[in-house]
Amino acid sequence: MLKDLMRLGVGSALLAKEKMEEEIKELIEKGRMSKEEAEKLIEKAKAKGEEQERAIREEIKKALKEVLDEMGLATKEDLEKLREELGKKESEKR
Q: What is the pLDDT of residue 1?
A: 64
Query: Any idea where the domains of the chain sit in the sequence?
Result: 2-93
Cβ-contact 27, 38 below 8 angstroms: yes
How large a percentage of the chain has pLDDT more than 90? 26
Stretch 36-49: mean pLDDT: 89
Phi first, then psi: give them for residue 72, nearest 5 degrees: 75, 25
